[in-house]
């Protein structure tokens, strides 16, 4: 392969493992049991001159805070608060979180602050999408990045000094009501919707608990009868989520990253006979199926086995020939050895798909 193209792309043959039994909890979520995002606006103080400079909304926030403590800022005065920064505070409220429990928070500068290192977050309300306050945040920041600047304007920055975290920096003030203990059903939502997987999940529950206990609603959801008593429902769900079943394999896909040249090919992708010429590159795919006949006294069945041949010619006399049973992986490796650019390979795959020679979805990202 030409060295100038060696770094451009990487062909990857992704072998999907044969379906193995997996627990329901690993492939499905319980409807209504979910996290909730919280966000707030606050002030970080105690910065060593790396805070805001002449930012109006920071001045307003600082004046409002002082008024809450009974300190009145003279009208028309100009604050100089280089040790303060306006920040956005983010947290995730887990399902069933109760008042008094603590959350980790992320604090990000939203103004002109150069660094949050050494700062402390003042008490900040964290609100949900409904505008209600669900947690209060406060504490000293842990900042992984740092920055330094010289008098001549030269500077060095490592990582991101304007983002920090406060482990256990927020306290939950109120919980969010979950529909988990309401109604007569529990609904499992598959993380990867598939009709076959939904049916198999329902069949596995019915085989364990009893007939007609679970019913697939669509490719994503399976509804299961459940007791109404919260304690019994918890024990019941603990049993259900550990039931094992065999999810269906993913549909045949080829994922192409046109920027990095990475190619991921599913094991179920199939090639049909075709021939493509791309510039000076010629790709030929032919099929010569063979019949497998069992012995006269054998109990087997007559089957047809594929016999594929793929040839790649770049026009300079180099030819690649493959034995029977060649796959799309062989095509990718052949084009790689010829030394073409990633865009050429993507064009070849797109042309094969448009010609109906690839059985599978071609996804370019």
Is a pLDDT exceeding 60 seen at residue 1?
no
Q: Has residue 320 got a pLDDT over 70?
A: no
3-state secondary structure the chain: CCHHHHCCCCEEECCCCCCCCEEHHHHEEECCCCCEEEEEEEEEECCCCCCCCCCHHHHHHHHHHHHHCCCCCCCCCCCCCCCEEEEEEEEEECCCCCCCCEEEEEEEECCCCCCCCCCEEEEEEEECCCCCEEEEEEEECECCCEEEECCCCCEEEECCCCEEEEEEEEEECCCCCCHHHCCCEEEEEECCCCHHHHHHHHHHHHHHHCCCCEEECCCCEEEEECCCCHHHHHHHHHHHCCCEECCCCCCCEEEECCCCCCEEECCCCEECCEEEEECCEEEEEEECCEEECCCCCCCCCCEEECCEEEEEECCCCCEEECCCCCCHHHHHHHHHHHCCCHHHHHHHHHHHHHCCCEECEEEEC
- For β-strands 11-13 and 263-265, DSSP reports them as parallel
Q: Report residue 2: phi and psi, to 5°.
A: -60, 135
User: pLDDT band at residue 146, thresholds of 50, 70 and 90?
Assistant: low
CATH architecture for residues 22-33+180-245: 2-Layer Sandwich (3.30)
Does position 322 have pLDDT exceeding 50, yes or no?
A: no
pTM score above 0.75: no
Position 221 scores a pLDDT of 94
Least confident of 28-32, 119-123, 126-130, 254-258: 254-258
Classify residue 111 by burial, with Cβ atoms within 10 Å: 0-12, 13-18, 19+: middle
CB 82 within 8 A of CB 51: yes
Dig out the tokens for 267 from the structure: 């094991």
pLDDT greater at residue 342 or residue 110: 110
Q: Domain map of the chain by residue range?
A: 3-16+251-364, 22-33+180-245, 36-172
Q: Output the average pLDDT for the chain.
A: 77
Q: Which of 92, 91, 95, 82 is nearest to 29 (CA)?
A: 95
By C-alpha distance, which of 322, 299, 302 is closest to 311? 322
Give 149-208 pLDDT, tens digit per residue.
Answer: 555 455 555 668 889 999 999 999 999 888 888 888 999 999 989 999 999 999 999 999
Q: Which residues contact 219 (CB under 8 A, 6 or more apart)?
A: 190, 193, 194, 195, 198
pLDDT-derived band of residue 68, with 50, 70 and 90 as boundaries? Answer: confident
The more confident residue out of 283 and 26 is 26
Least trusted range by pLDDT, from 12-26, 54-68, 351-365: 12-26
Give the pLDDT confidence score for residue 319 in this predicted structure: 43
Is 48's pLDDT higher than 80? Answer: yes
pLDDT band at 10 (very low <50, low <70, confident <90, very high): very low
Where residue 323 falls among pLDDT bands split at 50, 70, 90?
very low
pLDDT digits (tens, 9 = 90+) for 256-305: 776 776 777 777 777 776 666 656 656 666 666 666 766 666 666 777 66
Specify the length of the chain in residues. Answer: 365
> Which pLDDT band, with edges at 50, 70 and 90, does 222 fall under?
very high
Query: pLDDT at position 54, please?
Result: 66
N-terminal to C-terminal alpha carbon distance within the chain: 25
Task: Read off the pLDDT of residues 238-256 as tens digits, 9 standing for 90 and up.
Answer: 999 999 999 887 777 888 7
């Amino acid at each position: 392969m030409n060295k100038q193209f060696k770094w451009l792309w990487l062909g990857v043959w992704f072998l999907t493992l044969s379906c193995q039994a997996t627990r329901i909890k690993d492939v499905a979520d319980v409807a209504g049991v979910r996290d909730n995002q919280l966000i707030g606006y606050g002030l970080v103080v105690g910065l060593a001159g790396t805070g805001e400079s002449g930012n109006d909304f920071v001045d307003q926030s600082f004046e409002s805070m002082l008024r809450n403590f009974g300190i009145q800022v003279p009208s028309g005065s100009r604050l100089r608060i280089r040790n303060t920064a306006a920040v956005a505070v983010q947290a995730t409220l887990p399902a069933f979180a109760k008042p008094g429990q603590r959350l980790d928070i992320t604090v990000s500068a939203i103004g002109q602050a150069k660094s949050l290192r050494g700062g402390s977050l003042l008490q900040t309300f964290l609100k949900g999408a409904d505008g209600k306050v669900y947690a209060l945040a406060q504490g000293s920041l842990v900042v992984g990045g740092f920055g330094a600047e010289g008098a001549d304007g030269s500077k060095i920055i490592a990582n991101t000094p304007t983002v920090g975290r406060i482990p256990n920096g927020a306290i939950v003030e109120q919980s969010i009501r979950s529909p988990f203990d309401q109604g007569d059903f529990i609904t499992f939502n598959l993380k990867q919707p598939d009709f076959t997987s939904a049916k198999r999940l329902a069949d596995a529950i019915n085989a364990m608990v009893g007939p007609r206990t679970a019913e697939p609603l669509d490719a994503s959801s399976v509804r299961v009868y459940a007791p109404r008593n919260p304690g019994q429902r918890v024990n019941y769900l603990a049993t259900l989520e550990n039931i094992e079943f065999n999810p269906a394999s993913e549909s045949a896909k080829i994922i192409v990253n046109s920027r990095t040249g990475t190619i991921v090919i599913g094991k179920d992708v199939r090639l049909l006979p075709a021939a493509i010429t791309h510039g000076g590159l010629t790709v030929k795919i032919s099929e010569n199926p063979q019949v497998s006949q069992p012995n006269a006294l054998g109990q087997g069945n007559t089957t047809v086995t594929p016999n594929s041949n793929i040839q790649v010619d770049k026009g300079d006399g180099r030819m690649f020939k493959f034995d029977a049973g060649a796959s799309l992986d062989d095509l990718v490796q052949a084009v790689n050895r010829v030394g073409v650019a990633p865009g050429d390979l993507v064009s070849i795959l797109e042309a094969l798909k448009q010609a109906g020679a690839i059985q599978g979805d071609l996804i370019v990202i």
